[in-house]
Amino acid sequence: METRLITKSANELLPAVSDSSLPVFETAQDVSRHIAQSITLNTNTIHIDPLPLLIYVWRTIRELSGDDAYERYITQHTTNYPDTPPLTRKDFFLCQQQQKWRGIQRCC
Amino acid sequence: MKNPLVSVLIWIAVVLLGSAALGGIALNRGESINALWFVTAALCVYAIAYRFYATWIATKVLLIDPTRATPAERLNNGRDYIPTNRWIVFGHHFAAIAGPGPLVGPTLAAQFGYLPGTLWILFGAVLGGCVQDMVTLFYSTRRNGRSLGQMARDELGAIGGLAALITTLFIMIILIAVLGLVVVNAMKHSPWATSTVAATIPIAMLVGLYMRTIRPGRVLEGSLLGVILLLLSVAGGGWIEHQQNLRAFFDYPGLPLAWMVIAYGFAAAILPVWLLLAPRDYLSTYIKLGTIILLMLAIVWMQPNIKMPALTQFIDGTGPIFGGKLFPFVFITIACGAISGFHALIASGTTPKLLSNERDIRMIGFGGMALESFVAIMAIIAATVLDPGVFFAINSPAGVVGKEAADAVAKISSWGFPVTVAQMNLLAQQMGEATLFARTGGAPSLAVGMASIFGSAFGQGMLAMWYHFAIMFEAIFILTTLDAGTRVGRFMLQDMLGNVWKPLGRTSWYPSVLLSSGIIVAAWGYFLYIGVIDPNGGVNILWPLFGISNQILAAIALCVATGILIKSDKLRYAWITALPLTWLIIITSSAAWEKITSTDVRIGFLAAANDLATKLASGLLSPEKAAIAPQLIFNQRLDAVLTLFFVCMLWLIVFDMLRVCVRYLKGKPVPPLSEVSHHLAGMEKAWRRD
């Protein structure tokens, strides 16, 4: 049996991360290091490879907004409760919202 | 930092720069001072506090343990307990704590000059607010994300728990009323603002329907659609403003607007969350974060000059916006931005359930509050870049400076803040408003300040557009707080009523929903109604009441934290929460004392009530004033009782905390620490899988 320990962050739970060629950014330093690495200096041209960074930014925006909440739920659900069927996307969001707004969510 | 010497040198430079900026702000008595000094001083203070004080608290006092599994890890259910990237948690936490409070409070407190508010925002935050948020977040994380009320009950006893619960309910009611008043004052006789704010309701519903039926759960698509529609509604409001037949539909005095807000609040509390509350919150969060970032950039780019003096003569208590001396009222007026008890409700509850590692507590608890404090600094900048004369003309209620423009201008100029009717009319015309006189509540003057900063950064031609964008920005998240607060108040009330008669506690039983929503709306609606009919503007009564109650909630959170520190044998470190707690006890008690006993009619609730009663009895009031006088008199007396009640709650919980601490130190039995036992991070899932 696989003995991998708990994932460090929800970032790694995302299906997109299964593509191992993409870097995982944990801190601002990781991002700046990546930017530095993605710029290759030749004698007279500068080549910048922005794609992994853009994907990272897009993933962050999705996670921050909750756009990917259902995908994360499915990943989590299939790992822990493989025998029970998961909620549909619609039901999941209804439940999420009901639950969220029962407590104090917004401040002065 | 790799090289310790470089690190030391950098921090010495930060300390020197911060001291120079703070010294510059504090000692400057010249004509004007650049806003960049404020930004520099603030950033240096936060950086030093974060690097040294917060780190010390984390490592020496709380003993944050990165190897300990967080509730999100242990109880991960993919729904509310989810281990989440710390930047994402930071975003959620900040979006939750930063509301209209840090914008309105500093604007009102600018009547004392720029200095008192700035110093209190900076030092109150790093020594009080940030510590409160961080410590509460830590203790709640160690208790599976329990709420402040539950922690108070577990750690101090039933009395503490009940005091926390009741205070929370009351502060929510006062908060909603005062925020409702801010929105009403911003929409008064402004078809542009009213139509834009009104348009946010169908827009939110449209987004709600989109995210429920058309594309379920596609949050980003729905939000993008909504934000575009909101921006169009700002422009559309400008069009309505110029249509003679249309503008009449959106041109209302304060009272009808107040009734509309009340009706809206009731509807929002009983409608399903997916239809109005949830989509509106998505929109308000984006608009809020976007505008704050934009304002930050505009201030750094434009480097506007501060025109307000460091101190005004109103530190003696004669200020037109609210009565009362510098001490204690600046500390009451600026609650959010320096220390806000409400944050303890967010820091216990939602945020701890998302933390993937205890190590993130410093960044999210301390750092999140530091950022909110920075928002308050920007609000003070936006208020003080205005000519002081203009600032006072917008914010002074008609009851203080007079109803006629000429009277108001003469009065304000006589204070040494020159302003002319022509200047105010031109400004109103530029902002697309009929008048800017006596637009109390802080929102209009903040919007004028923001519009002038944005206007100078991105083009003067769109001043009116920026003004109404700023109004829409404030209104949309004020209404979100209003919706959400009414709803939470309803749940809390249903919880309490359920103890009296079981069916009332059922949150899906419609009669109970209607009854409890009605009670909550009636409670804040009453204060909103009185605030609107009060010729002195209402803000001068409601805002101090809100400040006092919010600071008392903070004191309760600090009581819980101090109690836990002492019960964990950390008496020698207990000052980190006991010091801000003592300060809060001093300021709230003395403010409450003054609000109850002062003989100055502009400060004392009872003095104002008695003064009005005498005038009414001797027939000195005009018929229209005499008609509302009995209500105003009753309200002032009610406010006095309420203030007394808040202070009693405070002292009750302080003594309860002291009782528990003394018993503990004497070796007598106390409620045991309710901390969840240690689980090694990373082990839980492997264990569950095997």
List pLDDT tens digits, range B643-685: 999 999 999 999 999 999 999 999 999 999 999 999 998 765 5
Using CB atoms and an 8 Å cut-off, which of residues 366-395 of chain B contact chain A? none
Whether the CB-CB separation of B59 and B26 falls below 8 Å is answered with no
Token pair for residue B590?
A: 């003395």
Among the partner residues A5, A7, A108, nearest to B100 by beta-carbon distance: A108
Average pLDDT over residues B68-84: 90
With CA atoms as reference, the chain B residue closest to A80 would be B689
With CA atoms as reference, the chain A residue closest to B681 would be A6
What distance in Å separates residue B384's CA from the closest CA in chain A?
A: 22
Q: Give the residue among B102, B565, B583 at the shortest CA–CA distance from B370.
A: B102
The answer to whether the CB atoms of A101 and B487 lie below 8 A apart is yes
Q: If pLDDT is split at 50, 70 and 90, which confidence band does B362 have?
A: very high
What distance in Å separates residue B593's CA from the closest CA in chain A?
A: 25
Query: What is the phi-psi region of residue B432: left when phi exceeds 0, alpha when psi lies from -120 to 50, beta otherwise?
Result: left
Cβ-Cβ contacts under 8 Å, A71 against chain B: none
Q: Are strands B305-306 and B33-34 parallel, antiparallel or unpaired?
A: antiparallel
- Sequence-distant (6+) residues with CB within 8 A of B61 are B565, B570, B573, B576
The mean of the pLDDT values for chain B is 93
What distance in Å separates residue B605's CA from the closest CA in chain A?
A: 24
Average pLDDT over residues B266-276: 91
Whether the CB-CB separation of B131 and B347 falls below 8 Å is answered with no
What distance in Å separates residue B654's CA from the closest CA in chain A?
A: 24
Helix, strand, coil percent content, chain B, rounded in steps of 5: 75, 0, 25
Whether the CB-CB separation of B356 and B74 falls below 8 Å is answered with no
Average pLDDT over residues B225-247: 94
| Amino acid symbol at B177 | A
Token pair for residue A10?
A: 């929800």
Q: If pLDDT is split at 50, 70 and 90, which confidence band does A7 have?
A: very low
pLDDT at B583: 98
Helices B191-209 and B158-187: crossing angle, nearest 10°? 120
Q: Which residue has the higher pLDDT, B642 or A18?
A: B642
Q: Give the residue among B551, B575, B564, B495 at the shortest CA–CA distance from B160.
A: B564
Average pLDDT over residues B260-281: 93
User: How many A/B residue pairs have CB atoms within 8 Å?
Assistant: 151
What gap in Å lies between CA B56 and CA B641, rounded to an integer? 42
Q: If pLDDT is split at 50, 70 and 90, which confidence band does B3 have?
A: confident
Token pair for residue B592?
A: 């409450």
C-alpha dist (Å) from residue B481 to B143, B260, B281, B527? 27, 16, 9, 16
The answer to whether the CB atoms of A76 and B82 lie below 8 A apart is yes
What gap in Å lies between CA B110 and CA B414, rounded to an integer? 19
pLDDT at B630: 95
Cβ-Cβ contacts under 8 Å, A56 against chain B: none
| Amino acid symbol at B679 | H
Range with lowest mean pLDDT among A8-12, B60-64, B540-544, B561-565: A8-12
The residues with which B328 forms a beta bridge, in sequence order, are none
Spell B459-479 as b/e; 16+ CB within 10 A means b.
eeeebbbbbbbbbbbbbbbbb
pLDDT at B508: 81
Q: If pLDDT is split at 50, 70 and 90, which confidence band does A46 have?
A: low
Interface test with B, best of A7, A11, A101, A107 (most B CBs within 10 A): A107
Q: Where are the beta strands (DSSP E) in B59-184?
A: none
Residues belonging to chain B:
690
Concatenating the DSSP letter of every residue in B307-354 gives -S-SS-GGGGTT-SSS-S-HHHHHHHH--TTT--THHHHHHTTTGGGT
Cα distance between the two ends of chain B: 41
B640 sits in which H/E element: helix B623-665
The answer to whether the CB atoms of A5 and B212 lie below 8 A apart is no
**pTM of this prediction?**
0.91
Cβ-Cβ contacts under 8 Å, B225 against chain A: none
B54 sits in which H/E element: none
Domain count, chain B: 1
pLDDT at B86: 92
With CA atoms as reference, the chain B residue closest to A59 would be B88
Query: What is the phi-psi region of residue B667: left when phi exceeds 0, alpha when psi lies from -120 to 50, beta otherwise?
Result: left
What gap in Å lies between CA B341 and CA B441, rounded to an integer? 21
What gap in Å lies between CA B527 and CA B289, rounded to an integer? 30
pLDDT at A39: 61
A10-26 pLDDT, tens per residue?
333 333 333 334 455 55
Residue B650, Cβ density class (10 Å: 0-12 exposed, 13-18 middle, ≥19 buried): buried
Q: Which residue has the higher pLDDT, A105 or B437?
A: B437
The answer to whether the CB atoms of A106 and B343 lie below 8 A apart is no
Token pair for residue B106?
A: 């500093």
Coil vs helix vs strand at A105: coil
Q: Which residue has the higher pLDDT, B687 or B302?
A: B302
Concatenating the DSSP letter of every residue in B401-457 gives H-SSHHHHHHHHHHTT----HHHHHHHHHHHT-S--TT--SSHHHHHHHHHHHHHHH
* Whole-number CA gyration radius for chain A: 18
What distance in Å separates residue A43's CA from the closest CA in chain B?
A: 30
pLDDT at B619: 92
B78-90 pLDDT, tens per residue?
778 989 999 999 9
Q: If pLDDT is split at 50, 70 and 90, which confidence band does A42 have?
A: low
The answer to whether the CB atoms of B682 and A6 lie below 8 A apart is yes
ipTM (interface pTM)? 0.81
Could you count the other beta carbons within 10 Å of the beta carbon of residue A32? 11
What gap in Å lies between CA B310 and CA B23, rounded to an integer? 12
Token pair for residue A39?
A: 């710029």
Range with lowest mean pLDDT among A22-36, B444-458, B471-485: A22-36
- Sequence-distant (6+) residues with CB within 8 A of B418 are B389
B188-235 pLDDT, tens per residue?
999 999 999 999 999 999 999 999 999 998 999 999 999 999 999 999
With CA atoms as reference, the chain B residue closest to A100 would be B80
Structural domain that includes position B132? 4-189+252-665
With CA atoms as reference, the chain B residue closest to A71 would be B78
Could you count the other beta carbons within 10 Å of the beta carbon of residue B487? 24
pLDDT at A10: 37
Whether the CB-CB separation of B374 and B130 falls below 8 Å is answered with no
The answer to whether the CB atoms of B84 and A65 lie below 8 A apart is no
Q: If pLDDT is split at 50, 70 and 90, which confidence band does B592 have?
A: very high
Question: Is-cis flag, bond preceding B328, omega within 30?
Answer: yes
B593-637 pLDDT, tens per residue?
999 999 999 999 999 999 999 999 999 999 989 999 999 999 999
What distance in Å separates residue B276's CA from the closest CA in chain A?
A: 11
Is B497 among the domain residues? yes
Token pair for residue A108?
A: 């002065």
Average pLDDT over residues A73-98: 89
The answer to whether the CB atoms of B485 and A3 lie below 8 A apart is no
Whether the CB-CB separation of B284 and B476 falls below 8 Å is answered with yes
Token pair for residue B417?
A: 């803040």
Concatenating the DSSP letter of every residue in A25-82 gives --SHHHHHHHHHHHEEE-SS-EEE--HHHHHHHHHHHHHHHTTTHHHHHHHHHHHH-T
Residue A35 has pLDDT above 90, yes or no: no
What distance in Å separates residue B99's CA from the closest CA in chain A?
A: 5
Coil vs helix vs strand at B474: helix
Location of structure tokens 């310790």: B4
Q: Give the residue among B254, B280, B105, B270 at the shortest CA–CA distance from B202.
A: B280
**What number of H helices and E strands is found in chain B?**
31, 2
Cβ-Cβ contacts under 8 Å, A26 against chain B: 85
| Amino acid symbol at A8 | K
Question: Among A68-77, B71-80, B357-366, which range has the highest average pLDDT?
Answer: B357-366
Whether the CB-CB separation of B563 and B134 falls below 8 Å is answered with no
With CA atoms as reference, the chain B residue closest to A5 would be B682
With CA atoms as reference, the chain B residue closest to A72 would be B78
CATH code of B303's domain: 1.20.1740.10
Whether the CB-CB separation of B681 and B67 falls below 8 Å is answered with yes
Residue A6 has pLDDT above 60, yes or no: no
Cβ-Cβ contacts under 8 Å, A1 against chain B: 689-690
Is B634 among the domain residues? yes
Token pair for residue A61?
A: 């925006």
Token pair for residue B639?
A: 């406010």
Q: If pLDDT is split at 50, 70 and 90, which confidence band does B517 have?
A: very high
| Amino acid symbol at B2 | K
B422-440 pLDDT, tens per residue?
999 999 999 999 999 999 9
Could you count the other beta carbons within 10 Å of the beta carbon of residue B429? 14
Token pair for residue B294?
A: 């934009």
Residue B355 has pLDDT above 60, yes or no: yes
The residues with which B355 forms a beta bridge, in sequence order, are B84
Among the partner residues A63, A97, A107, nearest to B278 by beta-carbon distance: A97
